[in-house]
Chain A
Amino acid sequence: DGGITQSPKYLFRKEGQNVTLSCEQNLNHDAMYWYRQDPGQGLRLIYYSQIVNDFQKGDIAEGYSVSREKKESFPLTVTSAQKNPTAFYLCASSIKGYYGYTFGSGTRLTVV
């Protein structure tokens, strides 16, 4: 079955460490997105990519980095510069964004 896979589902990080969240899709979608979700704040866009080897900052890119070396993969690195990284992270993909997104099941990151 086609879909979008995020791993791991739960991730714990010590302060000062970088951590990478995986997002893989086999839907042949061109565009991919990363969102952060905090209670009561809805979805906030971190980065998005509409084509391989290209990506744009979203509304809250500071402290995060991404790469898009393959169409299927869009990993997100949460760096030590992100002051409050504890959150639920969602990856999504689409053929064309305005047609709607397919979401992964999310990764819950906790800083310990």
Chain B
Amino acid sequence: AQSVTQLGSHVSVSEGALVLLRCNYSSSVPPYLFWYVQYPNQGLQLLLKYTTGATLVKGINGFEAEFKKSETSFHLTKPSAHMSDAAEYFCAVSQMNRDDKIIFGKGTRLHILP
């Protein structure tokens, strides 16, 4: 069975500091991995995804994530936080040609301190 664990339901960083949101997954076969962002009272928007190939994936708004199979991790990073990055972030996992649903983590709310 697949599962996703996001470490920290709330993370606070100062404006201009590094953003690091942690995600670990469990999957019996090679996974597809996703990060979504949700702004208040809006739907989820895809930030980036890993399917196959290059393990460092670049997304929108300056975010990137690295797939580390040995650590079963897919942490999201951004070198310099901006006030507009304040939102909730969801990590998710799926398995190609298996169950057709994506499994979401419980989310991490990112707070940006001025």
Contact = CB atoms under 8 A, between A and B. Distances in A.
A54 to B, nearest CB: 12
Interface of A: 6, 31, 33, 40-43, 45, 48, 50, 88, 90, 92, 96-106, 108
Contact of A98 (B43, B100, B106): B100
Interface residues of B, number: 26
A103 B106 contact: no
B102 A90 contact: no
B25 interface: no
A99 B100 CA distance: 9
| Closest 10 A/B residue pairs (Cβ) | A103-B43, A97-B100, A98-B94, A42-B106, A103-B44, A105-B43, A43-B104, A97-B101, A106-B43, A42-B107
B44 A42 contact: no
Contacts of A103: 36, 43-45
B100 A42 contact: no
Interface string B93-107: 011111111101111
A97 B94 CA distance: 8
B59 to A, nearest CB: 12
A88 B41 CA distance: 8
A40 B9 contact: yes
Nearest to A41: B106
A110 B43 CA distance: 17
Nearest to B98: A98
Given A31-B100, A98-B95, A104-B43, 7 more contacts: A40-B9, A42-B104, A43-B90, A43-B104, A98-B94, A102-B46, A105-B42
